[in-house]
Amino acid sequence: MNRLDFDALRQTRAQHPHRISEILASRTRRELIRGDGKLFIVAADHRARGALGVRNDQNAMANRYELLEGLATALSRPGVDGVLGTPDIIDDLALLGLLEDKIVVGSMNRGGLKGASFEMDDRYTAYSVDRIQRDRLDFAKNLLRINLADPGSVATLEATAQVVSEAAAAGLPIMLEPFMSSWVNGTVRNDLTTDAVILSIAIAEGLGDSSAYSWLKLPVVPEMDRVMAATTLPTLLLGGDPVGDQHETFESWHNALQLPGVRGLVVGRSLLYPLDGNIEKAIDLAATLVHGA
């Protein structure tokens, strides 16, 4: 299939869906850690949680083809090590031939839909550990929002502990993205204070019957030296919602990337939908922060 041949993609999905599993089975994989030991992963699992907005545009990610074109651009740039997505995204990228020699991260729990009354119920509705193994992906990822005032959070904690144990048994690296969260005027808000992030780490890293394959995916907050002193787990920095000045954002990433234990970046909307529209420039700047010139 030619790169970004959307006609062929649609036809294959309709007439030859088995090709997806065949492509994933024959995909060239790479070592997780190589070279400088850093990772730069582009994230694209937002849509499956009903989160289509970027800055003030609530439907910025609605156009599937624009998203795929952006991901193709990102994955073609030097220094981009891989992609994080739900099965629909990963399957499209496989059909487009974009996953060769890339780290592929499967996103697992997308049940806590943005704006829903059940948003805190982050059920596992996408990849499972055995399905990630089936498709020969390289990494698992979950979202762990912890609301101490919501009894429903314990179900997410229990389910997450189970998948962490399953991932450890399978020898599959798993990326935990924890937040201390609360309801504010009917909206889930993540607490991005330093102490709250440290508390979320303490809870998340103890889940499961082994932490051997556990990683963390953490926001960049004030006093990141204190945050990184709270864990020995390998850690990737998340980009989060693109707000504020992009230069300040890049500077905060640069500073945090220097800390012991920080292994790279996992960023999506900030780079796929930059203010100036120049995806190549945004991706290349971030790649330089992670891997150097």
CATH number of the domain residue 23 falls in = 3.20.20.70
Q: Structural domain tally of the chain?
A: 1
Phi, psi of 183 (to 5 degrees): -90, 130
Range(s) of the domain holding residue 265: 6-291
Instruction: Identify the band that residue 242 occupies on the pLDDT scale cut at 50, 70 and 90.
Output: low
- Say yes or no to pLDDT of 240 above 70: no
Phi, psi of 243 (to 5 degrees): -130, 155
In three-state secondary structure terms, 293 is: coil
Residue 76, pLDDT score: 96
Instruction: Quote the CA–CA distance of 167 and 209 in Å, as a whole number.
Output: 10
Instruction: Quote the CA–CA distance of 62 and 249 in Å, as a whole number.
Output: 25
Structural domain includes residue 119: yes
Q: What percent of the chain has pLDDT over 70?
A: 97
Structural domain includes residue 82: yes
Instruction: Quote the CA–CA distance of 38 and 171 in Å, as a whole number.
Output: 20
pLDDT tens digits for range 100-147: 999 999 999 999 999 999 999 999 999 999 999 999 999 999 999 999
- Say yes or no to pLDDT of 248 above 90: no
N-to-C CA span, the chain:
33
Structural domain includes residue 31: yes
Instruction: Identify the band that residue 224 occupies on the pLDDT scale cut at 50, 70 and 90.
Output: very high
Structural domain includes residue 1: no
Structural domain includes residue 253: yes
- CA nearest to 205, candidates 178, 226, 168, 167: 178
Give the residue-averaged pLDDT of 269-292: 94
Structural domain includes residue 129: yes
This model's pTM is above 0.85: yes
In three-state secondary structure terms, 54 is: strand
Instruction: Identify the band that residue 244 occupies on the pLDDT scale cut at 50, 70 and 90.
Output: low
Between residues 247 and 290, the one the model is more confident about = 290
Average per-residue pLDDT in the chain? 94
Give the residue-averaged pLDDT of 146-150: 94
Structural domain includes residue 199: yes
Structural domain includes residue 210: yes
Instruction: Identify the band that residue 1 occupies on the pLDDT scale cut at 50, 70 and 90.
Output: very low
Instruction: Quote the CA–CA distance of 236 and 257 in Å, as a whole number.
Output: 9
- CA nearest to 254, candidates 227, 285, 217, 233: 285
